[in-house]
Amino acid sequence: MTDHDLTYLPATEALRLFRSRELSPVELMQAVIARAEVVEPEINAFAEQTFEDALTQAKQAEIAYGAGGSPRTLEGLPIAAKEEQPIAGRISSEGSLALGEQVADVTHPAIERILGAGGIIHARTTTPEFCCAIFTQSRRWGITRNPWNLDYSPGGSSGGSAAALAAGTAVLATGSDIAGSIRLPAAATGTVGFKPPYGRVPGLPPFNLDHYCHDGPMARTVADCALLENVMAGPHPIDVASVRPKVLIPEQLGEVSGLRIGYAPNLGDWVVEPEIAANTRAAAEALRATGAIVEEIEVGLRVAEVRRAMFAHFGAIFGTYVAGIAATHRDLLTPYALAFARDTAIGPGDFYAGLELEGKIYAVLGALLERYDALLFPTTGVTALPAGEDFVEAELSIDGVALDHYLDSALTPVFNIASRCPVLNVPSGIGRHGVPTGLQIVGRTYDDATVFHIGAALERVRPWPLRPTGRA
């Protein structure tokens, strides 16, 4: 097995080889670091690298797998953490020059659990400023590029984590999702990302109290994603919204015989590229071979209503946060962060009106989820966003149709509104420009296991490449 093969080794397989002593955590870490040194100058997925410390931890993990050792769940695995998730004593800038060299005094609960399980955080990954965009670039870190095609973005805001997985510079990664920030980059990079239901993975105040906010796992395989989710999940004393009891994804996945699954190539009136709709349909058709009952459905949601609900919510919480920083550090912020604060500004009564819209939107989904065990939809309407474009001056068009706002390209915010629904993104195929497309598997509220079963079944009958095709 070459070093390049090692860097794309599934985490579950790496752990098996560690336990059998056929592979050392040191060998895997060395391979990942060597890979990063080759590709990072062009991919730019890392906001921070701690390679020397990671090698020291890998040596300690090697001992844990020796005679008399007691390896933990993630012992020795190289894991990339989204910079937004703070680590005590380390810089926590959220990709902004305005936050300077701000040092965190607390570690995010999910990161705390990863470290406690023996995972080695060898790098922290790039985001857009304040994670307020669906691409990944900032004045602080520059442009992060998609390993499948360097002319395009890996999506955002967890774009650095997704790019690291696709580039072979991490075995697992963490993300967070407030409007699709796990699912969109997973779709763009051919990887797997899970938006847990609200409260499943604990967060930090005050955003843990925002039901749009979800921290979750990212990986290259469904089993790897489940492995990391099981470490991150569960109630935590710092987060009143974290739900009890802890729920584990089963190790044996893929049993879907008899499940009723509804699918649609569109949520309503979104503009969706034809190949994305075709890939969604092909993935749904493939599930029939697993014994699932798959039916095409009409959803009938309206993108303008979803945007109004989303912006009202952001304006009350997330947009207010960005606007507060802009009030004193305007010259240091990116144009897209300033535009986000402007676009999400709300007036009296707007937040309440947004809640009314949220209820109306979920009523449609809730009725469908009474009829079906899960639903399948495209993750985004556009295959790839050009790297470096922020859509402040330029508009985004899909198949010649100009969008009212570039966020209208995402079919993900619906499920931040329906925040208690678990959603797993898995690859659905390849689109234009050689960039992957993604599929959202949406479950009933707090029914996490079903979406993983469906994802594993699809992975079995329609496997996707674990590395970008045509690249070294």
Q: Show which residues are catalytic.
A: 82, 157, 181
- Please state, in angstroms and as integers, the Cα–Cα distance from residue 373 to each residue in 293, 422, 447, following that order: 10, 12, 9
Contacts of 104 (CB under 8 A, 6+ apart): 86, 87, 88, 89, 90, 91, 92
H/E stretch holding 175 reads strand 172-177
- Are the C-beta atoms of 61 and 25 separated by less than 8 Å? yes
- C-alpha 36/C-alpha 44 separation (Å) is 9
Cα 188 to its chain centre, rounded Å, is 10
The string over 298-316, giving b where at least 16 C-beta atoms fall within 10 Å of a residue's C-beta and e elsewhere, is: ebebebebbbebbbbbbbb
- Are the C-beta atoms of 189 and 180 separated by less than 8 Å? no
Q: Is the dihedral of CA 93, 98, 102, 107 positive or negative?
A: negative
Contacts of 169 (CB under 8 A, 6+ apart): 7, 32, 35, 36, 39, 40, 43, 45, 46, 80, 123
What 8-state DSSP symbol labels residue 251?
S
- Written as one string, the DSSP assignment of 413-447 is THHHHTTTS-EEEEEEEE-GGG-EEEEEEEESTT-
- C-alpha 218/C-alpha 425 separation (Å) is 9
Residue 386's CB is within 10 A of a number of other CB atoms, namely 13
Contacts of 472 (CB under 8 A, 6+ apart): 4
